[in-house]
Amino acid sequence: MAELVLFVSVPAAVLAFGVPAFFKVCTSEYRWRDVGLHGGRDWRKKTKLRFPPGSMGWPYFGETLQLYSQDPNVYFSTKHKRFGEIFKTNILGCPCVMLISPEAARFVLVTQAHLFKPTYPKSKERLIGPFALFFHQGDYHTRLRKLVQRSLSFEALRNLVPHVEALVLSGMNSWGDGQVINMFKEMKRISFEVGILTTFGHLEPRSREELKKNYRIVDAGYNSFPTCIPGTQYKKALLARKRLGKIISDIICERKEKKLVERDLLSCLLNWKGEGGEVLSDDQIADNIIGVLFAAQDTTASAMTWVVKYLHDEPKLLESVKAEQKAIHKSNEGNIPLSWDQTRNMRITHKVVLESLRMASIISFPFREAIADVEYKGFLIPKGWKAMPFGNGVHHACPGNEPQKCNPSRFYVAPKANTFMPFGSGGHACPGYELAKLEMLIMTHHLVTKFRWEAEGSNSGIQYGPFPVPVRGLPARFRKESTNF
């Protein structure tokens, strides 16, 4: 089992989450005694349902320290083995019910999704913008989701192939022969450029640079301690977020003046008109643009870094992916751009992409909160508690199939319902999944046809920032490969 390096240190986590959680729990409507285990007799009288098994840890801090002082996957799988598919815990001051089974994931995310709302810390919502679709349920969410989906439709993606390829290549062309590259940083650069392309289309250089500069500051402050004290990373991020809103407003003005009609997300949002003639406000548009950029960047960069890692660690796998990609490269005479059809027919590489997504489980669990008391298999999920279907647990819980091993050939058989959900499930499932896979395929094509690489130092750990990434972002030395196949 890989050694695990936690990106968030215990003291930082306690400081960042424990202190606000302490005040929240002391002042909010659910005091500790209401949480159930610690004397919630009145509560219990009201219902015959049982609380799920599990432990709530210490008052106020719950089991935060236990979680942050070990591999989170080990923490959850130990609890899974001990208590079964549903158990309670308390993390960062929030009482939670964890659910680890395909049926439970379907229950929370699909069949009873109306009983659970997505939930994010307010500090994150302020940085992304409260109108971003993933904070919402109901009509507003459905309307926005359709617009995001339209900008990421097959037709839109087909047209994007040469542009995504050009962005991947412009990143890779800057890698010198023998240079050590931090894979995650590089992949983050590429996925951000692709994000800009899908949201804004082709943006003029000045706005692009301003956007990048301010986005970087928001990104850096996203996981910092949320405080409005001047000079702190979080405060700087809030100010940069304000500037981003203004930059996007200026781009919107320019689009309106020039009457530009494009196929990107910005145009989809700008051109939407409701039945009564209503349109989206600049703030609604900006929050959704920034929301999509956020949703797209680190997730895809992390997934691409894992592909590079698994190919590095599994020489036989690398050989078969190389053979597939070299054949495509050869058929394109080495210089014709990849076509949409070619990206849809990378059978082996596609399985490697799926297996990397399964193994890494980039978003371990979607966060939900029960909006009413909910019953699941005789257990109570109380109103206001977090309900978290643990996708990583589902991905690693298929007995007899060596789930801990990287084995793309398992995808020769279609996964059983709800056992493979790297992009979530139900009404909030990822609308960007085809784009993410497209980027991963194009990146892999150029990686294996142009380079050999060797990871630098020990690379058998995971960092969370907050998504899982190979330790230190997988620094690797790259050598250019002869392309005379």
Q: Which residues bind ligand HEM (CB under 6 A)?
A: 118, 133-134, 145, 148, 152, 198, 292, 295-296, 299-300, 303, 362-363, 366, 422-424, 428-432, 435-436
Q: How far is the CB of 374 from ligand HEM (least distance, A)?
A: 17
Strand ranges of the sheet holding 468-470, from the earlier edge strand across to the other edge: 3-4, 461-464, 468-470
Q: Is the peptide bond before 466 cis (omega within 30 degrees of 0)?
A: yes
For 30, the 3-state DSSP assignment is coil
- How far is the C-alpha of 365 from the C-alpha of 424, rounded, in Å? 8
Q: How far is the CB of 186 from ligand HEM (least distance, A)?
A: 16
- How far is the C-alpha of 60 from the C-alpha of 290, rounded, in Å? 33
- How far is the C-alpha of 24 from the C-alpha of 29, rounded, in Å? 9
In the complex with ligand HEM, the residue whose CB is nearer, 14 or 219, is: 219
Say whether 430 counts as a known binding-site residue: yes
Q: How far is the CB of 365 from ligand HEM (least distance, A)?
A: 9
**Beta carbons within 8 Å of 78's beta carbon, 6+ residues apart:** none
Q: How far is the CB of 357 from ligand HEM (least distance, A)?
A: 6
Q: How many CB atoms lie within 10 A of CB 363?
A: 20
In the complex with ligand HEM, the residue whose CB is nearer, 14 or 109, is: 109
Q: How far is the CB of 144 from ligand HEM (least distance, A)?
A: 8
Strand ranges of the sheet holding 368-370, from the earlier edge strand across to the other edge: 86-91, 94-99, 386-389, 368-370, 116-118
Q: Show the beta-strand stretches assigned E in 5-77.
A: none
Q: How far is the CB of 292 from ligand HEM (least distance, A)?
A: 5
In the complex with ligand HEM, the residue whose CB is nearer, 181 or 430, is: 430
Q: How far is the CB of 168 from ligand HEM (least distance, A)?
A: 14
In the complex with ligand HEM, the residue whose CB is nearer, 435 or 476, is: 435
C-alpha angle 292-297-300 in degrees, rounded to nearest 5: 115
8 A C-beta contact, residue 195 and residue 163:
no
In the complex with ligand HEM, the residue whose CB is nearer, 85 or 369, is: 369
Task: State the amino acid at position 64 in one-letter form.
Answer: T
The dihedral of CA 99, 429, 461, 56: what is its sign? negative
Q: How far is the CB of 148 from ligand HEM (least distance, A)?
A: 5
In the complex with ligand HEM, the residue whose CB is nearer, 57 or 465, is: 465
For 55, the 3-state DSSP assignment is coil
Tokens at residue 4, please?
Answer: 């695990």
3-state helix, strand, coil in the chain (%, to 5): 55, 10, 35
Q: How far is the CB of 428 from ligand HEM (least distance, A)?
A: 4
For 226, the 3-state DSSP assignment is coil
Q: CA of 278: how far to CAs of 246, 265, 289, in Å?
A: 22, 18, 19
Fill in the DSSP letter of residue 416. Answer: P
**Beta carbons within 8 Å of 201's beta carbon, 6+ residues apart:** 262, 263, 264, 266, 267
Q: How far is the CB of 425 from ligand HEM (least distance, A)?
A: 7
In the complex with ligand HEM, the residue whose CB is nearer, 329 or 428, is: 428
8 A C-beta contact, residue 120 and residue 223:
no
Nearest Cα residue to 289 out of 318, 319, 267, 316 = 267
Instruction: Return the residue nearest ligand HEM (CB atom).
Output: 432
In the complex with ligand HEM, the residue whose CB is nearer, 95 or 432, is: 432
8 A C-beta contact, residue 444 and residue 353:
yes
In the complex with ligand HEM, the residue whose CB is nearer, 198 or 444, is: 198
8 A C-beta contact, residue 388 and residue 367:
yes
In the complex with ligand HEM, the residue whose CB is nearer, 424 or 465, is: 424
Q: Which residues are annotated as a binding site?
A: 430
Q: Which residues are annotated as a binding site for heme?
A: 430
